[in-house]
Amino acid sequence: MLAARLYRYDPAMQEELRLETVPDPTIRQPDEVIVRIVGAGLCRTDLHIIEGVWRPILDPEGKLLPYTLGHENTGIVEAVGSAVRNVRVGDRVICHPQATCGLCLGCRVGEDMYCTSARFPGLDSDGGFAQYLVTTERALVKVPEDVDLVDIAPLADAGLTAYRAAKRASRIAPPDGWVVIIGIGGLGHIALQVLRALAGVRIVAVDRSPLARERAGELGADHVLAGSPDLAAEIRELTGGGAHVVLDFVGEQGVEQQSWQMLRKGGTHLIIGYGGTLEIPTVRMIFGELTVAGSLVGNYKELVELIDLVARGKVRVFTQRYTLQEINRAIDDFKHGRYFGRAVITP
């Protein structure tokens, strides 16, 4: 089969993925499933992997390369192991990004990302920028016939991450409360729609890009701001005292410091974007009675809920399609912000 593989980490990001023919995968464990890839989302994490940001975590001994990236996958079940009962050959599926064990305590409480012996195809093993992917039965969510598998591929990670954070915000903020979303990109534009679907809150969308601000308005944000060094003060003014929840999809370049400063008393700063370092005087934490929390991807149940929202037309993903042969052009377009939303590779 054809696959796009990474051979070298490159902090300068000049390294291209190599398109090459590799052996077709085979079933090795009874719970494994081979998925014929229909859509594979391109993610900022892929860029960070190429840059070597994840190397100390994913590849400390330098044994991972070369391998196939791609962790936001949809497709058709091609083959199943002998123990697989829940899916059949021909089923249309989206893959939860982690292939989990099902037996550890993290799995037993339903938090797939807490699994202590999971595999993460596209990060620590071969992923979906290829014609076929090996995952496990537990990772697969069936997709209704009328939902386009290419369009929804980014939901496997980007959408799921946005969904978990937005759902949490919808539970924290009162129905007439204020939620600020910073960064209306691949994740933020999904979080905005999820919040609209789940809660009656007032939504303030913040993004530097005029196109992103235009989309935020179309998707139902009540207020749209460009962001500035005075953003925290602007938000406190606009909201009459501060936001109930801030969803920070940037997490660096100073946004992480602005985020908690725009909260009202009892407010919550949810961190989804990463890269920066947060520093908050403890006196501000107690005086504002602030909560700061991270959010990591999402669990299987949340992916099911998100697919249901999409099937009912409550959430849509803006996508730009590229063939597998065009993957390096897709990466280049991503780096230069030449599309809105998410790129999806179609092998």
Q: Could you tell me the two tokens for 80?
A: 């199943």
Among 100, 193, 258, 261, binds Zn ion (CB under 5 A): 100
- Give 67's strand partners: 6
Find where tokens 């992916």 sit. Answer: 303
Among 17, 40, 42, 43, binds Zn ion (CB under 5 A): 43
When asked if residue 101 is in the footprint of Zn ion (CB under 5 A), the reply is yes
CB 101, min distance to Zn ion, A: 4
Task: Determine the 3-state secondary structure of 89 from DSSP.
Answer: coil
When asked if residue 104 is in the footprint of Zn ion (CB under 5 A), the reply is yes
Among 3, 49, 107, 143, binds Zn ion (CB under 5 A): 107
DSSP 227: -
DSSP 112: G
Tell me the C-alpha distance between 204 and 240, whole Å.
13
CB 239, min distance to Zn ion, A: 31
Q: Which residue is nearest to Zn ion (CB)?
A: 43
Q: Which stretch binds Zn ion (CB under 5 A): 96-104, 191-199, 207-215, 257-265?
A: 96-104
CB 138, min distance to Zn ion, A: 9
When asked if residue 94 is in the footprint of Zn ion (CB under 5 A), the reply is no
CB neighbour class for 194 (10 Å; exposed up to 12, middle 13-18, buried from 19) = buried
Residue 102: φ, ψ to 5°: 85, -10
When asked if residue 13 is in the footprint of Zn ion (CB under 5 A), the reply is no
Tell me the C-alpha distance between 217 and 223, whole Å.
8
Helix, strand, coil proportions of the chain in percent (round to 5)? 30, 25, 45
CB 108, min distance to Zn ion, A: 8
CB 81, min distance to Zn ion, A: 18
Q: Which stretch binds Zn ion (CB under 5 A): 99-107, 144-152, 176-184, 276-284?
A: 99-107
Task: Determine the 3-state secondary structure of 289 from DSSP.
Answer: coil
Residue nearer to Zn ion on the CB measure, 73 or 268:
73
When asked if residue 45 is in the footprint of Zn ion (CB under 5 A), the reply is yes
CB 167, min distance to Zn ion, A: 18
When asked if residue 235 is in the footprint of Zn ion (CB under 5 A), the reply is no
Find where tokens 């050959």 sit. Answer: 89
Tell me the C-alpha distance between 133 and 156, whole Å.
14
**What part of residues 133-162 is at the interface with Zn ion (CB under 5 A)?**
157
Residue 299: φ, ψ to 5°: -100, 175
When asked if residue 32 is in the footprint of Zn ion (CB under 5 A), the reply is no
Among 42, 115, 152, 172, binds Zn ion (CB under 5 A): 115
Q: Across the chain, how many H-helices and E-strands are there?
A: 12, 16
Name the site residues for Zn ion (rule: CB under 5 A): 43, 45, 100-101, 104, 107, 115, 157
